[in-house]
Amino acid sequence: MPQLKTTRIRWFLVFWLFVLSAVSYLDRVNISIAGGAITDAYQLSNVQLGKVFSAMLVGYALFQTVGGRLADRFGARRVLTLGVIWWGVFTALTALVPASMTGALYAFAAVRFFLGAGEAVIYPAANQFIARWIPFRERGIANGLIFAGVGAGAGFTPPLITYFMMHYGWRSSFWVCAVIGFLAGAVWFLAARDTPAEHKLVSPSELAEIQSGLSLEPAAATAGKQTPMLVPWRSVLRSKEVLGLTVSYFCYGYVAWIFFSWFFIYLSKVRGLNLKASSRYSMLPFIAMALGCLLGGVLNDRLTRRYGPRVGRCGVAAVAVVIAGLFIAFGAYAHSTPVASMILAGGAGALYISQSSFWSVSADIAGTSSGSVSGFMNMGAQIGAAITASLTPWIAARFGWSASFLVAAALCLVGAGSWLLVDPTKKLVFQQNETTVVAERTNLATKSNN
């Protein structure tokens, strides 16, 4: 009897999470590209525009843990589908704020807040998928591919939004983004399942390969319809691993969102580039981010297999964040616009080499509660992002743009140091018939060598 061919359904779904990741950043970065047109049309200052940016990030931050818990409870398929529909609606509503409206600033802030609340499910839900679908030895590259969508989406945004702004006006670009999101969400709903055991197209050999490398308990990995056991919040809050990840990701978010919120405006208003030139140069950090995510994912898995997760997960992240800080510090003082753009892009790429480590470790240590724990961690990043969206123009107005970048570089050092608190082999385990969660050594280090 011929053997059935081994399928690779998990990698198609990882690819589609890459697509959804790209769409999510398309829908959140579009306003920074259209920001110049919006400030002119509504007579807003950069500081006021920064408040609109921050409103989205506040909504995104506040609903991270909620989104993660929903993904843990109801599964990544349904939660992520509803999230894509939600943020698509509010992307379209951004374009419907009337130019003559009194209090347009507050209308923009409200719409973007709710857009952020919807987008909050994307990465916690993706991490819940990783915990249930991706073996330990493949999580670095899987997360690298998913988060390469950040760079791809943000990099694709400047030329797309610029094209529609120049030909059809800035409002049309938001409607196009919404339609793209609805289509991508429909594909995810049709193709995805919460566990590999539920997916009819997953071959028995692929199912066995997946289950052999999961850090979940076998019952948790295969039970799709049962209510999973979840780690209590008091144990999440007491974990030094979760604390270290969250502090480091706060610093990461602060630095990353200088590029997402202000880099295009920095090039056009401070460096004096025209719309087309700003669009071209502003793509560089996002291309570097995409490449950095992929490189970081490969390094993550290879070094973890050879030296263990302390080096492969934590070491890669700490070194990459330090390098990012050095690039950003040097780029802040470059006189040539092309040179400054390339050096700062190098900093963005180095920062994103660390991305896989954050999400792989949170999936490794949290098991069935990976959505909740990664959502809490990502809340830290979005608080940092919300602060930089408003604080960066304030620092620039008083001390210059170089000072804004130096603050980001200093936070890179804090973020790198926070990884010293993280032991990637210490797993949060829910023990049956107990009311507490204990942190105990697991066989993650052994699995990393298989």
Mean pLDDT of 284-308: 91
What whole-number distance in Å separates Cα of residue 341 and Cα of residue 263? 9
Cβ-based neighbour number of residue 333 at 10 Å: 11
Q: What percent of the chain has pLDDT over 90?
A: 44
**pLDDT tier at 321 (50, 70, 90 boundaries)?**
very high
What whole-number distance in Å separates Cα of residue 100 and Cα of residue 148? 39
β-bridge partners, 427:
440
Q: pLDDT per residue over 354-384, tens digit each?
A: 999 998 898 888 877 888 888 899 899 989 9
Q: Are the C-beta atoms of residues 257 and 384 closer than 8 Å to each other?
A: yes
Task: Enter the pTM of the model.
Answer: 0.76
Smallest CA-to-CA distance from 362 within 307, 317, 320, 324 is with: 317
**178 residue type, one letter:** A
Q: Which position has the token pair 């408040």?
A: 51
Per-residue pLDDT at 228? 59
Helix (H) or strand (E) holding 13: helix 9-33
Mean pLDDT of 428-449: 46
Q: Are the C-beta atoms of residues 293 and 151 closer than 8 Å to each other?
A: yes
State both tokens at 113: 């807040």
Give the distance, in angstroms, between the CA of residue 166 and the centroid of all CA atoms in the same chain.
Answer: 29
Mean pLDDT of 320-334: 94
Q: pLDDT per residue over 280-290, tens digit each?
A: 788 889 889 98
β-bridge partners, 438:
429
Per-residue pLDDT at 72? 87
What whole-number distance in Å separates Cα of residue 410 and Cα of residue 428? 31
The mean-pLDDT minimum among 66-70, 141-145, 393-397, 425-429 falls in 425-429
**pLDDT tier at 221 (50, 70, 90 boundaries)?**
very low
State both tokens at 148: 């390469």
3-state SS assignment for residue 223: coil
Per-residue pLDDT at 157? 80
Q: Which position has the token pair 């981010």?
A: 289
Per-residue pLDDT at 440? 41
User: Which domains does the chain possess?
Assistant: 10-448 (1.20.1250.20)
**pLDDT tier at 143 (50, 70, 90 boundaries)?**
confident
Q: What percent of the chain has pLDDT over 70?
A: 91
Give the distance, in angstroms, between the CA of residue 175 and the centroid of all CA atoms in the same chain.
Answer: 23
**pLDDT tier at 256 (50, 70, 90 boundaries)?**
very high
State both tokens at 62: 């506040």
What whole-number distance in Å separates Cα of residue 160 and Cα of residue 137? 36
Count of all residues that appear for the chain in the document: 450
**CB under 8 Å to 310, separation ≥6 — which residues?**
423, 424, 425
